[in-house]
């Protein structure tokens, strides 16, 4: 973290129960050091972070290809069923790396905190981030904090970066889908978006649905081990859901998709909530699901490998890549007719990640 | 999903499709209008067109309240929301609709106007109660289905003694609009109105009942089958319409018996009668000025009437003259016949009523069905 201060030299306890972040916690002085050591350093502890430098220095495997990603998290509400902004920031960034088929190595995190934000909430977020990072085995090795005046942010925003290494022989990319390839999803769609929606204060609406927020890199590792170069591409369908992702890929690969509504896994409670709210689960965000496009001959083996992993037990083959210069995503509806699954016009849900 | 999936069953749909195919006469065509956007949405979203014989054609009607609201009304609402001290509450699907200069409520909100998306008319009352220093205006739109909730909100505000709550009333009437479509003169050189029957409104009919449609069966000799919004309801209603046409009957039939009664919701009707009265005329996007087709607050409730309270001025803004919405609503043209369709006019940049919301004829075709145009072109080419 910036302005490193050994936790042994200065250690004054923050009032974690009633205290709040004020402008002095961003001023580079002692208050900031207390905030960093009292909340972040403890929650995110690891050897590289503990060195307390403004950057982290780490070895890289010789000759390997690296991937890097960056992401911002502004979700509202900050705490939601199944997660919070802290765990979401870890999972989202790990997943962006994993979608390259990579093994994620390290993360960075930058916190923009609104004046008046309670220490207790900040600690809860940092602890959750630490827990998610330890579970994933991907440490946060450098970070930064800034405090902005009340009204200039909404509680806390987190910005991350991540790096990872890509195994030999794997080169996934959005332009690689070819007609005849199969399309797989790793599980039920729409859980995250509906969990966020149901926890919004202006909706008197209760469900048992929790966000699917999860780090997918171990699932990806199993998939890569099984199907290797037969996997053309992977992507996590976050904002805009399956629909946005398939439309993006159709343009990138200059193809079309044909999918079957009956094969797309959606939890009945998510379908019911979407029905009430006038949403379509295909357009709702996910934070722990991936889409894979794979050569047809490897599809069954890949599906079996995905189903053998706890994060892929509801995986399914939902359709295939077709030739189409219009780049349409066509779907056979459960009713038996056909339709397009188009880009979303406007927004379905505000600030979901 | 219990009580919903039963009405979306693909196997039952296949049986109904077979029945329709068996009963249509191959030597003639059938053209029915589904008035409501809810039906248009079901037809498009579930791909019903693929289940119907080629000689059964569905004409998508104007029954989408967002679509038929003239641009001028959006401009008035934006102007109102920009006044100091005003909080404008409205249903979410109005937020994106662009005004004449491309401004929308969403953009006005981004520029600092206090505009709130609400899910229930009573949320507007709650906002007024919680913010006594603000003038809270409920931008009320919709057909007979959303009219009673507006009346309920007004009564709730009255009971709470709120002085800072008012209604910008833009409620419109379904049967009057159906009559306007049937009475619309065809443009020179155009064929007469093609509509041979109506899939009648679902939710509107739960309020107004069956009687108001009698004139279409009796005077215009057009069968009406009131139908639910689920895709099987629509298929069933189409079968019933085909039978009426084949038997040369024109009756008001009720497919939606699980929700619609002959007399409708009398309590809701009484409440609306108490609060609202007819306007002399109202401008509809796509249909033009239609006499006695809309409601306003009665004088007894003038203090809740935003038009009176804030002396709103009527803004008239015409649609693009190349827009074919009128002919599309009459069933004389299809969305793809309009040269603006998919070029200047898309759901992101709607030029006419039919493109404004996903329930409009053009937006539904663009969003769900335009692949069929390319299939047809490809078939012709090969």
Residues in chain A: 353
Residue of B nearest to A336 (CA): B10
B14 reaches A (C-beta below 8 A): yes
**Which residues in B lie closer than 8 A to residue A349 (C-beta atoms)?**
none
The pLDDT of residue A5 is: 46
Q: Cβ–Cβ of A336/B50 closer than 8 Å?
A: yes
Domain positions in chain B: 67-174+263-309
Q: Are strands B165-171 and B114-118 parallel, antiparallel or unpaired?
A: unpaired
Segment B220-244 shows an average pLDDT of 97
Closest residue to A336, CB basis, from B10, B45, B370: B10
CATH 3.90.650.10 domain extents, chain A: 182-340
B50 reaches A (C-beta below 8 A): yes
Give the mean pLDDT per block of 10 residues along chain A (353 residues): 49 85 92 92 94 92 90 95 97 98 97 97 98 98 96 97 94 97 98 88 71 98 97 96 97 98 95 86 96 98 98 98 97 94 72 67
Task: Choose, out of A327, A336, A351, the residue to mutate when testing the contact with B (most B CBs < 10 Å).
Answer: A336
- The residue that leads in pLDDT, B103 or B240, is B240
**Which residues in A lie closer than 8 A to residue B15 (C-beta atoms)?**
none
SS3 string, chain A, reads CCCCCCCCCCCCCCCCCCCECCHHHHCCCHHHHHHHHHHHHHHHCCHHHHCCCCCCCCCCCCCCEEEEEEEEECCCCCEECCEEHHHHHHHHHHHHHHCCCCEEEEEEEEEEEECCCEHHHHHHHHHHHHHHHHHHCCCEEEEEEEEECCCCCCCEEEEEEEEEEECCCCCCCCCCCCCCCEEEECCCCCHHHHHHHHCCCCCCCCCCCCCCCCCCHHHHHHHHHHHHHHEEEEECCCCCHHHHHHHHHHHHHCCEEEEEHHHCCCCHHHHHHHHHHCCCHHHCCCCCCCEEEECHHHHHHHHHHHHCCHHHCCCEEEEEEECCCCCCEEEECCCCCEEECCCCCCCCCCCCC
Task: Choose, out of A261, A335, A351, the residue to mutate when testing the contact with B (most B CBs < 10 Å).
Answer: A335
Q: What is the CA radius of gyration of chain A?
A: 21
* Cα B53 to Cα B58: distance, rounded to the nearest angstrom: 11
B299 reaches A (C-beta below 8 A): no
Residue of A nearest to B97 (CA): A346
Using DSSP's 3-state secondary structure scheme, residue B199 falls into strand
Within a 10 A sphere around the Cβ of A307, how many other Cβ atoms?
15
Q: Cβ–Cβ of A339/B8 closer than 8 Å?
A: no
The pLDDT of residue A347 is: 61
pLDDT-derived band at B359, boundaries 50, 70, 90: confident
Q: Cβ–Cβ of A339/B44 closer than 8 Å?
A: yes
The pLDDT of residue A7 is: 47
> Do A225 and A217 form a contact (C-beta atoms < 8 A)?
no
Complex ipTM more than 0.90, yes or no: no
* Cα A192 to Cα A189: distance, rounded to the nearest angstrom: 8
> Do A98 and A216 form a contact (C-beta atoms < 8 A)?
yes
B364 reaches A (C-beta below 8 A): no
* Chain A contacts in chain B segment 217-276 (CB below 8 A): 231
Sequence-distant contacts of B263-268: CB under 8 A, at least 24 apart: B263/B209, B263/B211, B264/B205, B264/B206, B264/B207, B264/B208, B264/B209, B264/B210, B264/B211, B265/B148, B265/B206, B265/B207, B265/B209, B268/B148, B268/B151, B268/B207
pLDDT (tens digit per residue) in B146-203: 999 999 999 999 999 999 999 999 999 999 999 999 988 777 777 776 899 999 999 9
Topology of B67-174+263-309 in CATH? Rossmann fold (3.40.50)
* Cα A215 to Cα A90: distance, rounded to the nearest angstrom: 8
Segment B290-312 shows an average pLDDT of 95
Enter the pTM of the model.
0.87
Q: Is the peptide bond preceding residue A77 cis, with omega within 30 degrees of 0? A: yes
pLDDT-derived band at B356, boundaries 50, 70, 90: confident
What is the b/e burial string over A6-41, where b = at least 16 CB atoms within 10 angstroms of the residue's CB? ebeeeeeebeeeebbbeeebbeeeebbbbbbbbbbb
The pLDDT of residue A201 is: 59
First to last CA, chain B: 43
Name the phi and psi angles at B195, rounded to 5: -70, 125
Interface of A with B (CB under 8 A): 202-203, 262, 268, 271-272, 275, 326, 328, 330, 332-340, 342, 345-346
The pLDDT of residue B357 is: 83
**Which residues in A lie closer than 8 A to residue B123 (C-beta atoms)?**
202
> Do A160 and A73 form a contact (C-beta atoms < 8 A)?
yes
Class of domain A182-340: alpha beta
* Cα A280 to Cα A275: distance, rounded to the nearest angstrom: 8
Give the CATH number of domain A23-166.
3.30.1330.10
Closest residue to B368, CB basis, from A275, A340, A346: A340
Q: Cβ–Cβ of A338/B1 closer than 8 Å?
A: no
> Do A321 and A255 form a contact (C-beta atoms < 8 A)?
yes
CATH 3.30.1330.10 domain extents, chain A: 23-166
- The residue that leads in pLDDT, B330 or A350, is B330
First to last CA, chain A: 24
Q: Cβ–Cβ of A271/B44 closer than 8 Å?
A: no
Residue of B nearest to A341 (CA): B368
**Which residues in B lie closer than 8 A to residue A338 (C-beta atoms)?**
47, 50, 371
């Amino acid at each position: 973290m910036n302005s490193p201060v050994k936790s042994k030299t200065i250690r004054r306890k923050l009032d974690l129960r009633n205290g709040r972040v004020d402008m002095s916690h961003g001023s580079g002085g002692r208050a900031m050091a207390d905030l960093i050591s009292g909340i972040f350093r403890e929650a995110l502890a690891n050897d590289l972070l503990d060195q307390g430098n403004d950057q982290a220095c780490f070895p890289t495997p010789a000759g390997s290809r690296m991937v890097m990603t960056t992401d911002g998290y502004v979700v509202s509400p900050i705490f939601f069923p199944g997660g919070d902004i802290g765990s979401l920031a870890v999972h989202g960034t790990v997943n962006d790396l994993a979608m390259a088929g990579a093994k994620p190595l390290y993360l960075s995190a930058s916190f923009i905190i609104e004046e008046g934000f309670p220490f207790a909430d900040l600690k809860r977020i940092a602890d959750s981030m630490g827990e998610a990072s330890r579970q994933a085995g991907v440490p946060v090795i450098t970070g930064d904090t800034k405090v902005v005046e009340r009204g200039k942010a909404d509680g806390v925003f987190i910005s991350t970066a991540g790096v990872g290494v890509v195994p030999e022989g794997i080169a996934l990319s959005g332009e690689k889908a070819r007609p005849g390839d199969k399309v797989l999803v790793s599980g039920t769609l729409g859980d995250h978006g509906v969990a966020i929606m149901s926890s919004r204060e202006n909706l008197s609406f209760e469900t048992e649905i929790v966000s699917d927020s999860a780090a997918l890199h171990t699932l990806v590792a199993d998939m890569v081990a099984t199907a290797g170069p037969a996997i053309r591409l992977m992507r996590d369908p976050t904002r805009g859901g399956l629909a946005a992702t398939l439309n993006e890929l159709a343009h990138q690969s200059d193809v079309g998709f044909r999918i079957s509504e009956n094969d797309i896994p959606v939890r009945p409670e998510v379908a019911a909530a979407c029905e009430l709210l006038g949403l379509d689960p295909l357009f709702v965000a996910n934070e722990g699901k991936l889409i894979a496009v794979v050569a047809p001959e490897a599809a069954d083996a890949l599906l079996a490998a995905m189903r053998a992993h706890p994060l892929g037990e509801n995986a399914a083959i939902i359709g295939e890549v077709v030739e189409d210069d219009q780049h349409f995503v066509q779907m056979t509806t459960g009713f038996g007719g056909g339709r397009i699954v188009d880009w979303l016009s406007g927004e379905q849900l505000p600030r979901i990640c | 999903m219990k009580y919903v999936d039963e009405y979306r069953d693909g196997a039952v749909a296949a049986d109904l499709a077979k029945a329709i195919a068996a009963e249509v006469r191959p030597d003639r065509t059938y053209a029915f209008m589904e008035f409501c956007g809810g039906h248009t949405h079901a037809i498009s979203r579930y791909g019903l067109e693929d289940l119907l014989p080629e000689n059964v054609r569905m004409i998508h009607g104007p029954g989408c309240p967002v679509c038929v609201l003239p641009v001028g009304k959006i401009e008035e609402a934006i102007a109102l929301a920009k006044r100091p001290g005003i909080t404008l509450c409205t249903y979410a699907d109005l937020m994106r609709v662009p005004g004449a200069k491309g401004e929308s409520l969403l953009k006005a909100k981004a520029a600092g106007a206090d505009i709130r998306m609400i899910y229930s008319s009573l949320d507007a009352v709650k906002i007024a109660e919680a913010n006594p220093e603000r003038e809270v205006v409920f931008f009320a739109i919709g057909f007979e289905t959303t009219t009673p909730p507006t009346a309920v909100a007004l009564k709730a505000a009255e009971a709470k003694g709120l002085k800072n709550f008012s209604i910008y009333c833009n409620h419109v009437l379904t049967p009057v609009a159906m009559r306007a479509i049937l009475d619309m003169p065809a443009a020179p050189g155009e064929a007469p109105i093609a509509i041979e029957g109506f899939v009648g409104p679902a939710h509107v009919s739960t309020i107004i009942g069956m009687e108001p449609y009698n004139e279409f069966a009796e005077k215009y000799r057009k069968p009406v089958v009131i139908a639910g919004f689920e895709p099987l309801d629509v298929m069933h209603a189409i079968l019933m319409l085909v039978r009426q046409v084949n038997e040369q009957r024109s009756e008001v039939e009720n497919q939606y018996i699980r929700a619609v009664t002959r007399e409708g919701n009398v309590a809701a009707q009484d409440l609306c009668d108490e609060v609202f009265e007819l306007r002399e005329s109202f401008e509809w996007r796509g249909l033009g000025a239609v006499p006695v087709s809309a409601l306003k607050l009665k004088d007894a409730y003038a203090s809740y009437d935003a038009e009176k309270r804030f002396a709103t001025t009527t803004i008239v803004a015409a649609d693009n003259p190349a827009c074919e919405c009128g002919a599309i609503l009459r069933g004389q043209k299809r969305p793809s016949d309009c040269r603006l369709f998919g070029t200047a006019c898309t759901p992101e940049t709607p030029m006419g009523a039919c493109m404004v919301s996903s329930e409009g004829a053009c937006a539904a075709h663009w969003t769900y069905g335009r692949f069929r145009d390319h299939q047809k072109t490809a078939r012709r080419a090969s």
